[in-house]
Amino acid sequence: MPSLPALALLIASQAARAGEPVLVAGFQPASPESAGLAALLSMALEEALAGEPEVEVLACDQVRPIGDADARLYLETCPRGEQVGCAYVVAEHAGAAYAVTGSLDVGEEYSAVRLSLVDVGEAREAVGLDLVLVQGEDQAFMTAVADLLGRLVRGEIGGLTDIREGAAAPPGRPLDESEVQAVLAEAGGRVPVAGLRTGLAVALPSFGPGDLERLRQEEGLTEWERLGMSERAYLAWRNSGLDLASWRRAQAGRALQVLVRAWGGALFGPVEGRYHARFALDLLEDDPVVETYAWQAATGALAGAWGLDLGFGLTPSVEVEVGVARVHGRFHTLVQQEEVGEPVLPEDEILTGNASTALTAGLRLAPFPTRALRPVVGAGVLFWRGSAVGDHVDLSTLQVALPEFAPPRLLGARALGGVELRLGPRWDLVGEVPLALLVGDFWAEHDEGGTALADKEPRPGPAPVCAGLTIGVQARLGGRIPRSLRGGQAEDEGALDELD
């Protein structure tokens, strides 16, 4: 059974045969003294791999810019020790299947070389080797490393199957340090192997104040000055995992965008309508209707809801919004006829659907526009209109004129909290918990104050709290990148600090 590095390199050789490029990201120097030899090793590695027929080499100069930043410059400014993550970012941007990178630390008698093969599709360091470069043996070292890489790709070591047509498969055996050491020695190089790594997950590069200080010490314009950014904005971009163009679009957030949200969920509030009426008859009287009593109320219950919101971005994080929602509960109608001196026969309650309409307006705040998962808060006002008994039953068919009431109309203050998850440049998944406190005409009552109707059922109390849980999809239309984020020297550092 071939080992994990052997399987990883088999994938690499198969990808190479399919024409998928391998990015040579070069070696990162650990110190200024290591820069010259690191550049020499990078060029030698690129030339050696270009000579292999199974490998399509992709040089950094062939990669399109990452936003406004040159790919090579991006790699050269990579944080120390994070060259694997930086190579992954550039290779993914370039559409490469694999990337070869490493680091070099020059010492007095020997240098430490770390060589890594990055599997872009799996986001992992498939194979990593820690090698020792003895002083004075630079050329032998490069020859030996190139021969090792060639044998690995051709499947001559490590139990790899040679995928070239007509080639015989070698006997499978695991790749280990001793085998690597033997190949390097056979190639004529005295190259000690200090370690072998496989299958490590790629960590996206982070960029900290120490890296900013290192760039400040370099001659000429700093990278952020060349891009027209503040140090804080540059730091935020380098730690975002996005290319510069995507970061600037994300940082622009909601600014001048039209946002359309469609959502559904469940709400607890004054969603149930109730109409209760009783009338007493005395058939011996000329006017048989002795007394009537009725009330209508909006009561609290849980119901399904859906809605549509329309917003406009005032700043990258703030929008003004309006919305409309429909909430579907039930309406209960009970009309009870009684005759004076006779037993009361209970009537059946009539149940019908009850649709309430809610109109909202307010402001919404979604900070941290570059993050994929963002918190959302909002505040505003809400107008609620329920339904009346006349929307559900026709009371005019009765022989008694019963009172009818206007629909409940409520007004309240509204707040919400939730999250947005970026699905793409123009789409978000939105989850919210809305909350509102309402006042208004929850109920209406008609009571003639007579004694013919005994034990009158009291009307229910108000349901002033409305709360729920909703989930929906948000589409972003239009918008533009603010001038301070487009490139060139930023004109409003305060605005950039706010965006950060």
C-alpha span between 69 and 235 (Å, rounded): 14
The CATH number of domain 256-479 is 2.40.160.20: yes
> Around 123, how many Cα atoms within 13 Å sit in the side-chain half-sphere?
7
% the chain with pLDDT above 90: 27
Q: Residue 210 corresponds to which tokens in the numbers above?
A: 């120490």
Q: What is the pLDDT of residues 6-55, one digit of tens each?
A: 333 443 444 444 456 788 888 888 777 777 778 877 787 777 777 666 66
Homologous superfamily (CATH) of 4-206 is: TolB, N-terminal domain (3.40.50.10070)
Find the mean pLDDT for residues 65-90.
Answer: 76
Q: Which residue has the higher pLDDT, 477 or 44?
A: 477
Q: What is the pLDDT of residues 379-438, one digit of tens each?
A: 999 999 999 998 998 888 887 888 889 999 999 999 999 999 988 888 999 999 999 999
- The winner for highest mean pLDDT among 60-69, 152-161, 198-207 is 60-69
Q: Residue 191 corresponds to which tokens in the numbers above?
A: 């190259």
105 — pLDDT class (breaks 50, 70, 90): confident
**With contact defined as beta carbons under 8 Å apart, do 482 and 255 qualify?**
yes
Q: Give the DSSP H/E element, type plus range, for residue 87.
A: helix 83-94
C-alpha span between 190 and 181 (Å, rounded): 9
Q: Which residue has the higher pLDDT, 125 or 490?
A: 125
Q: pTM of the entire structure? A: 0.57
SS3 of residue 221 by DSSP: coil
**Angle in degrees, CA 380, 381, 382, rounded to 5:** 135
pLDDT at position 29 is 82
Beta strands in 282-349 (DSSP E): 289-313, 318-339
Which of 188-202, 241-255, 315-329, 349-363 is predicted with the least confidence, judged by mean pLDDT?
188-202
% the chain with pLDDT above 70: 73
Enumerate the domain spans of the chain: 4-206, 256-479
pLDDT at position 249 is 77
* pLDDT of 478 strictly over 70: yes
Q: Assign residue 451 a region (left: φ > 0; alpha: ψ between -120 and 50; beta: otherwise).
A: alpha
Write the CB contacts of 54 (distance below 8 Å, at least 6 apart in sequence): 13, 16, 17, 153, 154, 163, 164
184 — pLDDT class (breaks 50, 70, 90): low
